[in-house]
A and B are shown apart, each in its own frame.
Chain A
Amino acid sequence: MSATRTAGERREVSSPTTPSRRSKSRASRGRPGRRGLWYTPWLYLLAPVALLVLFTYVPVVSMVSYSFTSWNGLSPTKRYVGLDNYVDLFTRPQLFQVFAVSLFYLVGAALQIVVALYFATILSFSTRFRNLFKGILFFPYLINGVAIGFVFLYFFQPGGTLDTILQPFGVAPHAWLGDPDLVNTSLAGVSVWRFMGLNMVLFLGAIQSIPPQLYEAAALDGASRWQQFRHIIAPGIKPILSLSAILAVSGALAVFEIPFIMTGGSNNSETFVIQTIKLAFNFNKVGLASAAAVVLLAIVLLVTMIQRWLVPDERVEMS
């Protein structure tokens, strides 16, 4: 989803500079018979759509169907129980308390966007070693989540890397994962470290599609770097910013990998997805867990809709 939207926006932004290409493509769209057959586009779509249906929509449909049964995940028979699972979920408010943990990740995600924006802006100007820095900042996103979990377990150990680094600054050692008031901050920090690079690359792509003559004109008019950012870059990448915000919120609600590997959800770090996994696999309540997953999906969709309603996706025209 993010990739296609990026491409779409980029074309829109850059379109004024390449008018000839645009009119050409429009012309060919008007006469489909001239090049290829009517089903050619569908052939191209076949592989991605098949994968999407197979790995996203079919499982979602089965998940929804499981949520109306009391299946234990193993039994050959699935007993239909109607809305019992949903009633069970909503009569247990403590199951929703874990969303408080998501707030830490939400704050983390906001910070992540700001930091990513900062680096993307700096790296979009001609900075020395910019490709090296791009690589370094993007690298964490490429590392396997499990490996990151283990690396940071050592990092946060008492007397571990973090304590050692902070010692010269007079910071006393902390139980970064052991202190219930610190654990979620630590974990959210790992999440920021991991995903910041991805946001940065998204922003960088959007920034680079802004026509360079705008900067030149701005520079001639005596605009400072901050003014360039404020009046050219920020409005230019607004769609990507709002997309990042949507991803950040849904990501914060459905956070899983890092806390699951690093703490297993113990010590006040349990998230909604970890709780769901435990219901399904520790207590054999696949039906109830599916209902929880459906509810999470609904919440994410709802939040996204509200967000889109508050911040509508405007067309960006730059010239």
Chain B
Amino acid sequence: MRRTRVLAAGITLAMALTACGSGGGSDTKDSGAVSVPEDPASVTGSITVLTNRTDQVQDGTAKAYAAEFSKIYPQVKVEFQGITDYEGDVKIRMNSEDYGDVLSIPGSVPTSEYPSFFAPLGTTDELAKTFDFTERSAVDGKVYGLANIGVANGFVYNKAVWKQAGVTDWPKTPAEFLEALKAIKAKTGATAYYTNYKDAWPLTNWGNALGSPSCDAGAGDKLASTKEPWAQGQDLNVADTLLYDIVHGGLSEGDPNTTNWENSKNLIGTGKVATMWLGSWAVVQMQEAAKKAGKSADDIGFMPFPAQVDGKWCTAVRPDYQYAINVHSKNKPAARAWIDWFITKSGDAQKAKSISSVKGASLPATLQPFQDAGVKFVNMTYADNAKVADIDKASEVGIGAPEYRQRIVDVARGAAKDDLAGIFGDLNKRWAEAQSTVG
């Protein structure tokens, strides 16, 4: 127990030291945007790419990309640093000047701070012609980060299990969805829904449901002015109520405190778990797990949130990590070249069967069923993103954090004394209070 404090002190110290080093940080800020170099042969230098994809660094995929890249830019050397605790480590490193040349923007960096840390990549008007999701990281009309992929949200499910329970059509309402889960519980031995409560971050995806039930691209922005985002009929209310009902109905795993993300892939792959609420990126991983377990990859499917507007399902699409250039980088043109090449030419998005952020790119095969069923892909807008994030932090609600959803799960399974109305009331109150204090 005592060691903990030493550790915490060490972290604090590291932050203090690095904070000293960044004193002159904002002075060196480059006001002009870094554009993609026109002559690849003339770009020189060595760049370091910080990535959360430790798997790609280890299995050589990253090196292969670097080799491909150097065919076009022969004078640029690309190195990778795979970081396991990406969010935590990079945020602390950003107090220094040493946070790579190219990096994925950690989620906890407030959008309004982007100009102090990253070099602008171009204007919104110009980049929005080629790329989706540019608004997400734009400050004052300049884009500071570009996403490689977009993520659609839905339920990853085991088709075989759902079929065994006699459900073949996607549910159209939360009530139908619950009926389907009940049928799965009654007719198959599978756990109908798996919360991944212990690892917590999979629960945060419920916040990404925002926009799906209402089919509203501006649902996120509206939080800046909505006094009560958990009032009846609001997206967050609909989604969180569904989570509550699933757990309350005994349709999720028995002991949420001992869930395990890595193992959940096997569970759904082998049909021991029927359904999980995740992003489209997860489909490939689950299919691989199914294959490894000797089942068919085709068993794994993806379905939209059970709600329809004008007879159509909707799925909110959000950008994944955005790549940015360190404002202190000495090789900005090379870094810019890498970002552009990686997003437009590396084929990484296609390989991961994800939605490429390049406009006009075709949808991956995993989302073909969505297209066939006429599911509307709603690209979320991020006009008031900075303000919404500020309210979220000030209120300590954490729409993208697991805490309050863990609380919902606890209350739903009778482990905490409260009710859903009480939780929503508290969230509404905190949100409204923070809204009045934040600029």
A and B are partners in one complex rather than unrelated chains: yes
Q: Which parts of A110-152 form the interface with B (CB within 8 Å)?
A: 145
Does A266 belong to the interface (CB within 8 Å)?
yes
A58 in contact (CB, < 8 A):
yes
A283 is an interface residue with CB less than 8 A from chain B: yes
Known contacts A178-B255, A283-B398, A285-B393, A266 near B4 by CB under 8 Å: no
B255 smallest CB distance to A (angstroms): 4
Chain B 1-27, CB within 8 Å of chain A: the 1/0 string?
111111011101101100000110110
Contacts of B200 on A, CB cut-off 8 Å?
264, 266
| Interface status of A74 (Cβ within 8 A of chain B) | yes
Question: Is B1 within 8 A of A254, CB to CB?
Answer: yes
Interface size of B as a range = 35 or more
Chain B residues with Cβ under 8 A from A158's Cβ? 254-255, 258
Contact call B4/A59, Cβ cutoff below 8 A = no
Q: Which residue of chain A lies nearest to B16 when distances are taken between CB atoms in the complex?
A: A62
For B201, give the chain A residue with the smallest CB separation: A264
CB distance B113 to A266 under 8 Å?
A: no
- What are the residues of chain B within 8 A of A59 when measuring CB–CB? 9-10, 12-13, 16
**Option from A75, A178, A257, A273 in Cβ contact (under 8 Å) with B256:** A178
**Chain A 228-257 per-residue mask, 1 if CB under 8 angstroms from chain B, else 0:** 000000000000000000010011101111
Bound together, the chains give a CA A266 to CA B10 distance in angstroms of 26
Complex Cα distance A74/B8, Å? 17
* In the complex with contacts A267-B406, A268-B415, A283-B398, A256-B1 CB distance below 8 A: yes
Interface hits, B383-426 → A, CB 8 Å: 393, 396, 398, 401-403, 406, 410, 413, 415-416
Look across to chain B and name the residue whose beta carbon is closest to the beta carbon of A297.
B5
Complex CA distance for A250 and B5, rounded to whole angstroms:
11
Judge whether A75 and B113 touch: CB under 8 Å: yes
Contact residues in A for B91 (Cβ distance below 8 Å): 73-74, 281
Is there a chain A Cβ closer than 8 Å to B57's Cβ?
Answer: no
| Interface mask (B76-116 → A, CB under 8 Å = 1, otherwise 0) | 00000000000010010011000000000000111001001
Q: A59-B16, A178-B413, A266-B257 are in contact. List 13 more A-B contacts (CB 8 A).
A: A55-B9, A55-B10, A59-B12, A63-B12, A76-B23, A76-B26, A180-B416, A255-B1, A266-B197, A266-B402, A266-B406, A267-B416, A282-B108
Q: List 21 A-B contacts (CB under 8 A).
A: A55-B9, A63-B12, A72-B393, A74-B91, A74-B113, A75-B110, A76-B22, A76-B26, A153-B258, A157-B255, A175-B257, A179-B415, A180-B416, A191-B1, A195-B1, A247-B2, A250-B2, A254-B5, A256-B1, A257-B1, A264-B198
